[in-house]
Amino acid sequence: MNRFDQQHVLVIGATTGIGLATAHRLQQEGAHVILTGQSPERLQQAAAELGEATALPLDVASAASREAFVTALRARTDRLDAVIYNAGIAAFGPFEGFDEAAFDHQMAVNFKGAFFTVQALLPLLGEGSSLVFNTSINNQVGMPHSTVYAASKAALRSLSRTLAGELLPQGIRVNAVSPGPVETPIYQKLGLPPEQLQAMAGQVMGNVPLGRFGQPDEIAAALAFAASKDASFMVGEELVVDGGWTGL
DSSP 103: H
> Could you give the count of Cα atoms lying within 13 Å of 52 in the half-sphere of its Cβ?
7
- Helices 63-74, 113-121: axis angle to 10 degrees equals 30
CA distance 138 to 178: 8
* 85 annotated active-site: no
What is the DSSP pairing of strand 173-179 with strand 238-241? parallel
Q: Are 116 and 201 in contact (CB under 8 A)?
A: no
Query: Are residues 13 and 88 in contact, defined by beta-carbon separation less than 8 angstroms?
Result: yes
Phi, psi dihedral angles at 186 (to 5 degrees): -60, -30
Phi, psi of 197, rounded to the nearest 5 degrees: -65, -40
Residue 145's φ and ψ, nearest 5 degrees, are: 75, 10
In terms of Cβ atoms closer than 10 Å to its own Cβ (0-12, 13-18, 19+), residue 121 is buried
Which entry of 149, 181, 216, 226 is annotated as an active-site residue?
Answer: 149
Catalytic machinery residues: 149
